């Protein structure tokens, strides 16, 4: 099973990907997470990406495409995977089609209004150790500022500041949304309602994927 999760920042792609990954026994490949790890470790990639990510801009296509290419040939990808946050430009979508021996199954587009996104992202907290996602109002950790799963510290992402969020939403509408047409033309696009509670969408996705 090879699926893509498309959608604006804060649409809940990471939350749903964790649920589907577990149910299907396939990994989630999150380019945002790969970049944040590289930034935390101060690698060459991390240093290159940092300026873009902090401003809410896209990291150049060739850099991202190289990362994904390398990741998809790892043995754990044999049974399939969920791509979260990639592709983010039409050029990335084309590069993905070129690297796959057989086609993607589905590109799910997470639909949610811009007004809801702002509220979600300003309250979002992420575990610095395992990547688990919480929300100060809608889904706080039972352990306060520590992760329920691994006791790691919960942090606000550097790019979850209001001004950067606006820029990321703008970048999404301009550069990423055109991908919907790309997948629509190829009969791969399924739009899902990503507003409201994550449990409802999780049920829908599990059903659509036959899990």
Which of the residues are catalytic?
A: 13, 88, 124, 157, 168
Contacting residue, 132, 154, 192, 205, with Zn ion by CB under 5 A: 132
The answer to the question of residue 159 lying near ligand ADP (CB under 6 A) is: yes
Report, in Å, the least distance between residue 26 CB and ligand ADP. Answer: 18
Question: Which residues from 8-37 bind ligand ADP, rule CB under 6 A?
Answer: 9-10, 31-32, 35
Question: Which residues from 77-136 bind ligand ADP, rule CB under 6 A?
Answer: 85-86, 88, 92
Report, in Å, the least distance between residue 141 CB and Zn ion. Answer: 9
Contacting residue, 168, 179, 182, 188, with ligand ADP by CB under 6 A: 168
SS3 labels along 106-161: EEEEEECCHHHHHHHHHCEEEECCCCCEEECCCECCCCCCECCCCCCEEECCCCCC
- Residues 68, 96 contacting (CB under 8 angstroms): yes
Residues that bind ligand ADP (CB under 6 A): 9-10, 31-32, 35, 52-53, 56-59, 64, 85-86, 88, 92, 159, 168
């Amino acid at each position: 099973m090879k699926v893509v999760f498309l959608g604006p920042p804060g649409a809940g792609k990471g939350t749903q990907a964790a649920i589907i990954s577990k149910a299907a026994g396939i990994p989630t490949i999150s380019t945002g997470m790969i970049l944040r790890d590289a930034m935390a470790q101060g690698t060459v990639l991390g240093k290159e990406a940092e300026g873009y990510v902090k401003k809410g801009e896209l990291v150049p296509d060739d850099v991202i495409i190289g990362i994904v290419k390398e990741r998809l040939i790892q043995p754990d990808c044999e049974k399939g995977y969920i791509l979260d946050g990639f592709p983010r430009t039409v050029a990335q979508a084309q590069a993905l089609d070129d690297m796959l021996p057989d086609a993607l199954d589905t590109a799910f587009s997470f639909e949610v209004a811009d007004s809801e996104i702002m509220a979600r992202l300003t309250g979002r907290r992420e575990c610095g150790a395992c990547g688990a996602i919480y929300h100060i109002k809608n889904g706080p950790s039972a352990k306060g500022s520590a992760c329920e799963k691994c006791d790691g510290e919960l942090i606000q992402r550097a790019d979850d500041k209001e001004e950067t969020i606006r820029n990321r939403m703008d970048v999404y509408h301009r550069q990423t949304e055109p991908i919907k047409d790309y997948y629509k033309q190829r009969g791969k696009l399924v739009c899902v309602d990503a507003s409201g509670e994550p449990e409802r969408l999780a049920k829908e996705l599990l059903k659509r994927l036959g899990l």
